[in-house]
Amino acid sequence: MPSTFSSAPLGYTIVETAIGAIAVAWSAVGICRVALPQRDREAMERRFAAKLDGARPSEPPAAVAAAIELIKRYAEGQEVDLSSVAVDLDGVDQFHRAIYQAARKLDFGQTTTYGGLAETAGHPGKARETGEALGHNPVPLIVPCHRILAAGGKIGGFSAPGGSATKEKLLTLEGVQVGPPPAAQKAVAF
């Protein structure tokens, strides 16, 4: 899968959210890259900008600004729907596109497994390949790869900074609990 898109990014911005700084880049088609928060904002911005073929920080166009507002609300734990945000997946192969489109249909707080997503996308039996595709997701949150769990409802991997801990935090924002319930929720015998 290519690391750049044939639709060159026009600009990018770094926005502060309740979960940290998030970077967003766009082309004439839509959002083409999102970077989730990292501990070192300056290092994140350098790495992000290096992947953008010379795009410069700029003021986002109206549609991108509206998407950024939704991302900020999401980071505050508000239920938002990012499924209609325009994305630029130019240069992304058909299998990855099918996986990303299927993932975008998951609602806030809804999860599935890698195998379940593969089946929904029309590629039954390709759970591993689905995980690999999600590991290359250029627009996390917009393509909600954090909503995809391993078999048995286990958290599974996550390629964003912080790995599975970040995935769990995003799921928690959506009211999803992965794993056993906290000790405070044990059943009481009567």
pLDDT, tens only, 84-125: 999 999 999 999 999 999 999 999 999 999 999 999 999 999
**Strand residues in 27-81 grouped as ranges (E):** 31-35, 56-57
Q: Are 23 and 48 in contact (CB under 8 A)?
A: yes
In a domain, 119, yes or no: yes
SS (H, E, C) 66-110: HHHHHHHHHHCCCCCCCCCCCECCCCCCHHHHHHHHHHHCCCCCC
The torsion angle over the Cα atoms of residues 6, 85, 1 and 16, rounded to 10 degrees, is 100
Predicted pLDDT of residue 113: 96
Q: Which residue do the tokens 């992965």 mark?
A: 178
In this predicted structure, the answer to whether residue 6 has a pLDDT above a threshold of 50 is: no
- Inform me whether the pLDDT recorded for 64 exceeds 50: yes
Sign of the dihedral defined by the CA atoms of residues 44, 19, 107, 81, in that order:
negative
What's the chain's Rg over C-alpha atoms?
Answer: 17
Mean pLDDT computed over every residue of the chain: 89
Give domain status of residue 4, yes or no. no
Tell me: do 35 and 104 sit in the same domain: no
Task: Kindly state whether residue 179 falls inside one of the protein's structural domains.
Answer: no
Same domain flag for 51 and 98: no
pLDDT at 69 over 70: yes
- CATH code at 138? 1.10.10.10
Please work out, in degrees rounded to the nearest 5, the angle formed at the alpha carbon of residue 53 by the alpha carbons of 140 and 163. 30
Q: What is the span of the domain harbouring residue 145?
A: 94-173
68 shares a domain with 103: no
The domain tally of the chain equals 2
Name the band, by pLDDT with cuts 50, 70 and 90, for residue 28. very high
Determine phi and psi for 5, rounding to 5 degrees: -110, 150
Residue 6 within a domain: no
If asked whether residues 61 and 100 sit together in one domain, one would say no
Domain assignment of residue 125, yes or no: yes
Ramachandran bin of 8, using left for φ above 0, alpha for ψ from -120 to 50, beta for the remaining angles? beta
Whether residue 138 lies inside any domain: the answer is yes
Catalytic residue among 19, 134, 145, 148: 145
Judge if 109 and 165 occupy the same domain.
Answer: yes
145 part of the active site? yes
Residue 111 shares a structural domain with residue 153: yes
Name the pairing type of β-strands 20-26 and 11-17. Answer: antiparallel
